[in-house]
Amino acid sequence: MQISNEYLYEEDKKHYLPTFKRFPLALIKGKGSRVWDADGKEYIDMLAGIAVNNLGHCHPKVVSAIQDQAAELMHISNFFVSPPQVALSKLLVDLSKLAHVFLTNSGAESVEGAIKIARKYASKQKKGGEIISMKTSFHGRTLATIATGQAKYQKGFAPIPTGFVQVDFNDIEALEKAITPDTAAVILEPVQGEGGIIPADKAYLQKVRKLCDENDILLIFDEIQCGIGRTGHLFAKDHFGVQPDIMTLAKGLGGGMPVGAFLCNEKVGAAIDYGDHGTTFGGNPLASAAALATIKTILEENLCQAAKEKGDWLMGIVRSWSKDHPMIKEVRGIGLMIGIQLDRPAAPIVKALMDDGVIANATAESVLRLVPPLNIPEEDLVKVLDKLKAIILSIEQDEK
């Protein structure tokens, strides 16, 4: 029996919990910035597994690291240490200028850990454990992480965990008014992803840092989507000159291998006792080897600078279209984390791009999100822009 898009799509519907509104495509192969479906069609991948495949698909250095480690040792208990985990921990601490790291399996797990250690620090300071987050944020799908986020993700899951308060993003006065003696931490994304690719204002983040310092409140940066070179720095925090007390990572960290992390400074680390947290799979040798190879390759191939240059170029071109194409209201982003704000739902354009061999994504209803591999060739970006321009012109022609 020949495996096809239709066959795999229908089989999936029979067995998988219906939580994803999937496209009727089955992707079976990837190389660099290209993927192929079960029917043999080729696509330029401008989504990269939602900002995961920062090195593209099957980068040879990551593949080799995984293969070599899988043949040596894949998993051990965290009762023991392993060379890849020790090396990865040191590299993350050195690069982030934070003091401690805990390795996890996913972004939501990293945020859960960040909330947990923030509350432990607050407890030792005889404070409450309230967490302030942003109204248009997204930090995951677990119960605690949806409590930090948008109301639409909380529907049907009551009772929602308490101790969470939301304020408007980029509004320092709203944040200041929300602070109480029970506030343990502020959590935010330096560049909001699911909220529509919205960068923080630099002055805002600097004021948030000052406000947290004045009130002995921890500042948590969620860099799950915007970290690991995506914005043109290894960590988005470095665009703003603001150092958080805690930082979360995942997505791009493993080059496609599920791995996450949360890091903290010395004062937070000093509040943690043996047994306060744990994980079975987090930071196992296989995942750590993949993450180590991913970070080293991003640095060796100068992909942070590549992301900045390609992102600036791409956003500049699309912005130049807006004067002649009013459906483009705004182009936002940093590096290769780009959102094209439209005057209409973005889903039809995503569908048209897919039909023409480009994988992209709609977020916040009317934002076309582009988060391609950092090493995507320029000729692929040119092709994507040509296809997007043609779709826009076709829509405008139909509306005349």
Hey, which residues are catalytic here? 138, 222, 251
Peptide bond into 159 cis (omega under 30): yes
Q: Are 190 and 200 in contact (CB under 8 A)?
A: yes
Q: Are 125 and 216 in contact (CB under 8 A)?
A: yes
The structure tokens 């960068």 sit at: 199
Q: Are 253 and 228 in contact (CB under 8 A)?
A: yes
DSSP bridge partners of 192: 198
Counting other chains too, the contacts that 211-217 makes at CB distance below 8 Å and 24 or more residues apart are 211/172, 211/175, 211/176, 211/179, 212/186, 212/245, 215/179, 215/183, 216/125, 216/127, 217/179, 217/183, 217/184, 217/185, 217/186
End-to-end CA distance of the chain: 47
Give the whole-angstrom CA distance, residue 366 versus residue 243. Answer: 32
Give the whole-angstrom CA distance, residue 115 versus residue 110. Answer: 9
Tell me which DSSP letter residue 252 carries: G
- Angle 347-355/378-399 helices, nearest 10 degrees? 120
Give the whole-angstrom CA distance, residue 181 versus residue 26. Answer: 51
**Residue 252 burial (CB < 10 Å; 0-12/13-18/19+)?**
buried
Q: Are 221 and 114 in contact (CB under 8 A)?
A: no
